[in-house]
Structure 1
Amino acid sequence: MSLRAGWSGPGPGLRHRAAYLAGGAMTAVIYYGLFACALYGFHDRVPYLAVVVVSHLVAVLIVYPWYRLVVFPGAGGSWLAGYLRFYAVGLAFLAVCAVGLPILVEVAGIPILVAQACVILMSVSVSYVLHRMWTFRSRRSSGRGKQPDNLLQRAGAVKSH
């Protein structure tokens, strides 16, 4: 496969992956920056898990347009429905933070900001798959028949009958 085919060929090419990586980096920097500033600003007056929730909500509001317009420009449907799906995927990250951060911080003794960086790095590939398969799935008829009814079928894990 040539570089050119990977850049613009069928399926997610290099351009799409680069846009997603840029969006992911932007999301991580914005979220981590908000999280670190809030931790510093509140000086232990607010529990770090509350800071996680607020930082996440603000970061998602900021980055959603990038994902909608640049990373997944073919996504149809309303912006509100797309945002709600985007945030639902984000809730998975939030759940991982709610469970993983206390384990890393309280049990393993890892500093909060280091632990949060570890959680962010672990969530990148899962986030991409969920966004590609569900949040921003193409609503256009592809000529290949009906869209699979569930995430497992779209991922190819289950054959549709």
Structure 2
Amino acid sequence: MVNDLVNAESRTGRGGHSASVRAWKSALDSVLRRQRITYLAGGAMTVVVYYGLLGLGLLASGGRVPYLLLVVVSHFMTVVTVYPWYRLVVFRVVGQSWVRGCLRFYAIGLVFLGVSLVGLPLLVHFAEMPVMVAQAVIIPFSALASYGINRGWTFRAPADASGPGNISHPAP
């Protein structure tokens, strides 16, 4: 990518301002597309893990455990399971604490857990939807919002970072 930028500038002969700017924009667009693809893969994995855990919990409990408790447990287990993917593959974080990053990731997850804990009873009791269907209605809203929040806060560079290489390195 750096070679492309150097070559683009040297081909223009006059300092290459416009070619250089175009090369930077192209590189940035490519990076964002790759990050979104790995994020979508992570989102799919997150949904499969969460739904699997929640579904198994509902089946295993046979209605003896409140579904909202199963939602909380499934959510916690999912966050712990998928965090490494988001850290290592999606946002390519280096030089930051795993614990601090996981706590931030979980804090964002708690907001979405709260949405489920409020929305599920409304959909289950008032709209009379099954728990899994009601959760399927809620999840897309959480997924759309979480990319921007995780990218801008959970996996952002610290304020005192003095250059590239301190956080998010998009997957090649």
Q: Pick the TM interval, shorter chain.
A: 0.7 to 0.9
Residue 98 (structure 2) aligned to one of 79, 86, 91: 79
> How big is the shift at 1:75?
5.1
Alignment partners' CA distance in 2, 1:43 and 1:35: 12
Higher-helix-fraction structure:
2
Q: Spell out the pairing of 1:71-110 with structure 2 (5 A cutoff).
A: 71-74=90-93, 76-110=95-129
Percent of aligned positions that are identical: 52
TM-score, normalised by the number of residues in structure 1: 0.80
SS in 1 for 2:157: coil
Which residue pairs with 2:5 in the alignment? none
- 3-state SS in 2 of match to 1:9: helix
Residue 138 (structure 2) aligned to one of 83, 108, 119: 119
CA RMSD of aligned residues (A): 2.1
Q: By how many angstroms is 1:121 displaced? A: 1.5
Q: Is residue 55 of structure 2 the alignment partner of residue 18 of structure 1?
A: no
Distance 1:135 1:51 in 2: 26
Alpha-carbon separation, structure 2, partners of 1:56 and 1:67: 16
| 1:66 equivalent in structure 2 | 85
1:120-149 superposed Cα distances (whole Å, 9 cap, x missing partner): 112111111110111001234348xxxxxx
**Are residues 1:141 and 2:165 paired?**
no
- What are structure 1's unaligned runs of at least 5 residues? 144-161
Change (3 A) 1:12 1:118: farther
Structure 2: gaps (5+ residues): 1-21, 165-172
Q: Residues of 2 paired with 1:58 and 1:101: CA distance?
A: 19
Q: Highest CA radius of gyration, 1 or 2?
A: 2
The alignment partner of 1:73 has SS state of: coil
In structure 1, C-alpha distance between the alignment counterparts of 2:105 and 2:117, rounded to whole Å? 18
Cα distance in 1 for residues equivalent to 2:162 and 2:29: 15
